[in-house]
Structure 1
Amino acid sequence: MNSQSLQDFKGVMDKSAAETVHDKLRAINDAVDNDFERMRDSEVNGFVELYSRYLKSRSKKQEIQWDLIQQPGENMLSRYDTLAEPPEHEVTGLLSKLAVLKLNGGLGTSMGCKGPKSVIEVRDDTTFLDLIVQQIENLNKTYPGADVPLLLMNSFNTDTETAKIIQKYQDTNVTITTFQQSRYPRIIKESLEPMPATHEGYAHSDWYPPGHGDFFQSIYASGLVDTLLAQGKEYIFVSNVDNLGATVDLNILKDVVTRKVEYCMELTDKTRADIKGGTIISYDGKVSLLEVAQVPSKYIEEFKSVSKFKVFNTNNIWVSLRAIKRIMQADEMKLDIIVNNKEVAGQKVIQLETAIGAGIGYFENAGGVNVPRSRFLPVKSTSDLLLIQSNMYTLKSGSLVKNPSRQFATTPVIKLGNEFKKVAQYLERFGSIPDVLELDHLTVSGDVSFGANTTLKGTVIIVANPGNKIMIPGGSVIENKVVVGSLHVIPH
């Protein structure tokens, strides 16, 4: 693209911009000779639609009208404790209508691991994926005839590796199907031109997966919606692969089937650690999801308040397959665009993404259910991993069960410093996972190590000053203490 055409490119909008980008992507597709570098038709069309909407939004920003926001009524947000448990004789029939999908696009790089995040060992030498397969296999064995299938939506980063990994589940009573979500080209921030900058073909770093909102388009384009409907499936339960609390819940399943709910979002009570989480609202009389990025700056503190906006989205979503087909066939879904600024190989780029939660407004009879915190157990860091691996939980058929010996309803707040960020570093710094049954809060910063069989109670803060080291000897019991400096803590 010469300088004049680039200037023309930067100035075009709407249809002309879409045509320009479409032609460029088609030209690159024609020039490359392997499938990895060639975009599927659904990817080209999906990106062009998202890109043209982004350009339009830059010239005409729409701000949410704060006075139209109201708290959701009981018809929009149910309480979990009001849901009826299905009688035993109904369970197989309910489960026969269900498929389970895990969003499996993420890598474990943020925790220092290679490959898909779903293969990180999280408990008793088992991975996220191992536990998920165990959960579904237990359902299928407990209720013969249910035959709940597992679907994995992979990204181009995880697809090949996942295909190899799932071979080990061939002898389980679980049918596993994978499909790949869209790959979109990153956008050069300065010129607003999609990668690559030349017509020489794509490099791996030119691509990105466009968020979990792409679920709707990708599962529809894959043909799996029709396949599942032909198998008698009516609903699909979608959740993040790293949320160990996102198990199949029969009470919620019965409720969505009985009331013919097309879209049900699970939300849980907000704490001060969750102040940025999206929340369900009534907007101009219609159910909607409000994300922090949509909130005008003068209302940010009000949004963060746990008194006004009391729940947040867990990203556990129950959706009608028939409704997905109807909406996608009509090309009605235009999800809010999330602009993700990144820097790749020194180049400032933009990624246009969407979120599955934003889809709630496109479905009929849609709403949410306020679920217990136990259904939201994500593992985003080694701080989360410590809690999951501790005696706070036990494993039962692949599901985490809170230890009944814990006297408090809440779980401990754990904050581990940068020295614990990678899984390998984290494992080196613990002789064994501490007893945390009576722990309220743990903060660890600096060069700190724990011996085996330590016990932490109450509020414990351990800070090693720069250049210093703190060793917690094996067998130590630390209760309501602040430890700072460089020393050994003597057990008692």
Structure 2
Amino acid sequence: MATVTLSSADADKLSNLQSATVALSQISENEKTGFINLVARYLSGEAQHVEWSKIQTPTDEVVVPYDSLAPTPEDSSEVKNLLDKLVVLKLNGGLGTTMGCTGPKSVIEVRDGLTFLDLIVIQIENLNSKFGSNVPLLLMNSFNTHDDTQKIVEKYTNSNVEIHTFNQSQYPRLVVDDFLPLPSKGQTGKDGWYPPGHGDVFPSLMNSGKLDTLLSQGKEYVFVANSDNLGALVDLKILNHLIQNKNEYCMEVTPKTLADVKGGTLISYEGRVQLLEIAQVPDEHVSEFKSIEKFKIFNTNNLWVNLKAIKRLVEADALKMEIIPNPKEVDGVKVLQLETAAGAAIKFFDKAIGINVPRSRFLPVKATSDLLLVQSDLYTLQDGFVVRNQARENPENPSIELGPEYKKVSSFLGRFKSIPSIVELDSLKVAGDVWFGAGVTLKGKVSIIAKSGIKLEIPDGSVLANKEINGPEDL
């Protein structure tokens, strides 16, 4: 275990926690060790804040402009060689609970009856067919999504994509009052545990045995992305650049808009590239962090990492990412989850870089308002890729705010006879008991706020341009 300096009170806490954790039969020795190490680091109060004066804006050598990358090799055998070094890993530990769904978020239907997972498999199938390559797909599940995912992937048995699943760690939630694991208090169901953030992808790859298997197959790079980011496609220009330049780690960043002010950004700090998250920013600098003048880019969480480097660093216990404390409440008991983020690992890898990619590579679906965008005529599906409609002149997507009536996917789908045309829409705000007919077109700025107690139905075929609607009389 890493040596950390603790006060005697904290040392006692850790010792009691250790005894209680050792007795938990539901998790492996690796998980117990990882958990205790994380708590020890947390108790030691490792410095989380950065010294503001030392922050430097990264140069183009550190955050490489996408347009400056060499073109993809034209020879298909060269492309096959590139692809045969690659593994695609999707973070699949999240449930669709925020969107009112049970089960893994990746099985929500995105478009044309296809789920996130269907689209991911189709994309890799097409690559493997076209170039005769063998790019496998890895899904990192959590204990919340494992069983469902195992059943779901059976439908891809005849696909030309090898699909592997493995679980990220399962750590016990910490009771805030006495710093003991919640499961040791009798809460042994799912509520007693948590998955410790996607920073856990590196040790879990190793502990599951998948890392050694991939290395033995000659794989060199893993492309890690959130399963709900529809823009996270395999990019041969990026892969080629990393192999040519021996970069062990690459984070895709993209220009920040006012919608992304909380996203982490890349900085140069004491000679290394580093992720700066809002939680590490001293209070007096938060507004500066959120401005898009000084910090122009943010992390898309599309990451490319060298597999041998992961093995080296995990074996050396060198990946000490910043700890993100996440307070929760379970049945009235205040608990703490300690998590880490995969992007924060960038500072431990050699020749780590960012690549400033087009915004099209960041298309996450976090809420039904995002689902409205990707189901609309703003996008079409081609070979499993979501392609933006050329007819839209504004490079930015419309901003969409849907009220709580639309929060769950089922209610969202029920309130639209068909998804409106939004190619010429700038912004949409909907709240209250609003129902959309078929073939509605929205243009410019549209606000539909139904008065309390009124059911507002937008008739089939309506064209609403720059309108504010509060009742039937405004239609």
| TM surpasses 0.5 | yes
Name the SS of the counterpart of 2:80 in structure 1.
Answer: helix
1:201 to partner: Cα distance = 6.8
* Aligned AA (2:101): C
Pair 284,396 (structure 1): closer, same or farther in 2 beyond 3 Å? same
1:152 lines up with 2:134 in the alignment: no
1:188 to partner: Cα distance = 1.1
1:465 to partner: Cα distance = 2.2
1:211 lines up with 2:197 in the alignment: yes
In the TM superposition, what whole-angstrom CA distance separates every residue of 1:55-104 from its partner, at most 9, and x where no partner exists?
Answer: 111xx655311000010111210011111222222211110100000000
| Aligned counterparts of 2:388 and 2:417: Cα–Cα separation in 1 | 23
Q: Is the 8 A contact 1:43 1:183 kept in 2?
A: yes
Structure 2 gap ranges (5+): 1-5
> Could you tell me which residue of structure 1 aligns to residue 88 of structure 2?
100
Please point out which of 68, 73, 79 is paired with 1:87: 73
Please point out which of 16, 19, 33 is paired with 1:45: 33
Please point out which of 104, 127, 138 is paired with 1:116: 104
> Could you tell me which residue of structure 1 aligns to residue 22 of structure 2?
26
Please point out which of 143, 168, 177 is paired with 1:181: 168
Please point out which of 229, 242, 251 is paired with 2:215: 229
| Aligned counterparts of 1:45 and 1:174: Cα–Cα separation in 2 | 34
| Aligned counterparts of 2:405 and 2:473: Cα–Cα separation in 1 | 18
| Aligned counterparts of 2:401 and 2:260: Cα–Cα separation in 1 | 14
* Aligned AA (1:114): T
Q: Is the 8 A contact 2:173 2:337 kept in 1?
A: yes
| Aligned counterparts of 1:164 and 1:350: Cα–Cα separation in 2 | 31
* Aligned AA (1:126): L
1:345 to partner: Cα distance = 1.6
In the TM superposition, what whole-angstrom CA distance separates every residue of 1:260-288 from its partner, at most 9, and x where no partner exists?
Answer: 11000000111111000000000122110
| Aligned counterparts of 1:421 and 1:43: Cα–Cα separation in 2 | 35
| Aligned counterparts of 1:468 and 1:346: Cα–Cα separation in 2 | 37
In the TM superposition, what whole-angstrom CA distance separates every residue of 1:267-324 from its partner, at most 9, and x where no partner exists?
Answer: 0111111000000000122110000000000000000000110000000000000100
Greater shift, 86-95 or 275-284, is seen at 86-95
| Aligned counterparts of 1:130 and 1:488: Cα–Cα separation in 2 | 44
1:10 to partner: Cα distance = 10
Q: Is the 8 A contact 1:339 1:351 kept in 2?
A: yes
1:483 to partner: Cα distance = 1.3
1:428 lines up with 2:401 in the alignment: no
Pair 12,203 (structure 1): closer, same or farther in 2 beyond 3 Å? farther
Q: Is the 8 A contact 1:302 1:308 kept in 2?
A: yes
Please point out which of 103, 127, 144 is paired with 2:115: 127
1:18 to partner: Cα distance = 3.9
TM-score by length of 1: 0.93
Q: Is the 8 A contact 2:415 2:435 kept in 1?
A: yes
Structure 1 gap ranges (5+): 1-8, 30-37
| Aligned counterparts of 1:426 and 1:183: Cα–Cα separation in 2 | 33
1:73-472 matches, cutoff 5 A: 73-89=59-75, 90-144=78-132, 146-198=133-185, 200=186, 202-472=188-458
1:19 to partner: Cα distance = 3.7
In the TM superposition, what whole-angstrom CA distance separates every residue of 1:419-440 from its partner, at most 9, and x where no partner exists?
Answer: 1000111011111000011111
Name the SS of the counterpart of 1:436 in structure 2.
Answer: coil
TM-score by length of 2: 0.96
Q: Is the 8 A contact 2:24 2:184 kept in 1?
A: no
Q: Percent identity?
A: 55
| Aligned counterparts of 2:85 and 2:183: Cα–Cα separation in 1 | 44
Pair 488,110 (structure 1): closer, same or farther in 2 beyond 3 Å? farther
Name the SS of the counterpart of 1:280 in structure 2.
Answer: strand
1:487 lines up with 2:472 in the alignment: yes
| Aligned counterparts of 1:104 and 1:489: Cα–Cα separation in 2 | 44
1:482 to partner: Cα distance = 1.4
| Aligned counterparts of 1:159 and 1:11: Cα–Cα separation in 2 | 40
Q: Is the 8 A contact 1:295 1:303 kept in 2?
A: yes
| Aligned counterparts of 1:156 and 1:316: Cα–Cα separation in 2 | 23
Q: Is the 8 A contact 2:196 2:337 kept in 1?
A: yes
Name the SS of the counterpart of 1:360 in structure 2.
Answer: helix
1:191 to partner: Cα distance = 2.1
1:466 to partner: Cα distance = 2.1
* Aligned AA (2:137): L
> Could you tell me which residue of structure 2 aligns to residue 34 of structure 1?
none
> Could you tell me which residue of structure 1 aligns to residue 3 of structure 2?
none
Please point out which of 450, 456, 473 is paired with 2:459: 473
| Aligned counterparts of 2:95 and 2:74: Cα–Cα separation in 1 | 39
